[in-house]
Amino acid sequence: MGQGCGATGVGSGLRADAERNRLRIVEAAREVFAEEGIDAPLNEVARRAEVGIATLFRRFPTRDDLVTAVFADRMSAYAAAVDRAHAEPDPWLGFCRYLEQVCAMQVGDRGFTDVMTQSFPRFRSFEAERRRSLDRFGDLVTRAQQAGRLRADFVVEDLPLLLMANAGVVSGMGDAAPDAWRRLVTYLVQAFAAETAEGPVATAQPLPEAPTPRQVARALARVQARAARGPGRAQ
């Protein structure tokens, strides 16, 4: 019996080590994907997790395995944002707040935009939640249009356009003007408002302040420096 217990102990130790490695890889990937997007080099993920690349691939055989593990909680938060917006009695207010919340989720996380504008058909539960959230957003769009608040030609496919535009501002402005995205989103929400006899429907909030000339200059210098460094590292 002593030998059996010893074997179980070794197995438990190996499983514990494997789980620790898995958690370290997920946390490292969360950081790297947030900084560089989900196409970031996996070698960098392994380096930060302090594991070999072979260990990373044993735990996560494909990039999508790792991506869906990292963003499972973000997808749940995204779904919750849709549900909160859907529960808002005023569908236009729910629409406005939802767009602001989702765009806020992009700040500091380049990977989120990648995940929201791609599909992961092999991962059924992950993809099902993403699709359910988009369907719920579609329902919200319909309700806001039926209320006469959202322009009739807005479609669900406009959401990825908004996210990609916002991602560009978030990335380009960086810490030079970290709140500049709010002005962009408010501008776009105003553009989405339905026209009435009195003019466009009022938006949920006034237009935030524009970045200062100094902030814009810093952001442009940052973009130029990034372009001078050339494309990202190979995987």
What are the start-end ranges of the E strands in 92-229? Answer: 195-196, 199-200
Q: Quote the pLDDT of residue 223.
A: 66
Find, among 160, 146, 144, the residue nearest to 192 by Cα: 144
Contacts 24+ apart (CB under 8 A), 7-16: none
Q: Quote the pLDDT of residue 9.
A: 52
What torsion, rounded to 10 degrees, do the Cα atoms 55, 56, 61, 64 define?
170
Is the predicted pLDDT of residue 151 greater than 80, yes or no? yes
115 confidence band (pLDDT: 50, 70, 90): confident
Residue 47 buriedness (CB in 10 A; 0-12 / 13-18 / 19+) = middle
Task: Say which range, 16-25, 172-181, 192-201, has the weakest mean pLDDT.
Answer: 192-201
Find, among 3, 59, 68, 57, the residue nearest to 30 by Cα: 68
pTM for this predicted structure: 0.76
**Which domains occur in the chain, in start order?**
2-69 (1.10.357.10), 71-229 (1.10.357)
- Residues above pLDDT 90, as percent of the chain: 48
Q: pLDDT tens digits, residue range 2-40?
A: 444 444 454 555 588 888 999 999 999 999 998 888 999
Q: Quote the pLDDT of residue 141.
A: 97
Question: How far is Cα 143 from Cα 29, in angstroms, rounded to an integer?
Answer: 38
Q: What size, in residues, is the chain?
A: 235
Decide which of 52 and 225 is more confident: 52
Alpha carbon of 215 to those of 210, 212, 219: distances in Å?
A: 10, 5, 6
Q: Quote the pLDDT of residue 197.
A: 42
Decide which of 19 and 222 is more confident: 19
Q: Quote the pLDDT of residue 178.
A: 86
Pull the structure tokens for residue 151. Answer: 């322009």
Q: Quote the pLDDT of residue 234.
A: 37
Is the predicted pLDDT of residue 74 greater than 70, yes or no? yes
Is the predicted pLDDT of residue 169 greater than 60, yes or no? yes
Question: How far is Cα 90 from Cα 143, in angstroms, rounded to an integer?
Answer: 9
Alpha carbon of 181 to those of 95, 107, 127, 160, 186: distances in Å?
A: 17, 9, 27, 15, 9
Question: How far is Cα 204 from Cα 65, in angstroms, rounded to an integer?
Answer: 39
To which residue do tokens 């919340």 refer? 101
Sign of CA dihedral 61, 63, 64, 69: positive
Cα 64–chain centre separation: 15
Pull the structure tokens for residue 163. Answer: 């996210």
Q: Quote the pLDDT of residue 62.
A: 94
Average pLDDT estimate for 159-165: 90
Is the predicted pLDDT of residue 220 greater than 50, yes or no? yes
Average pLDDT estimate for 102-119: 84
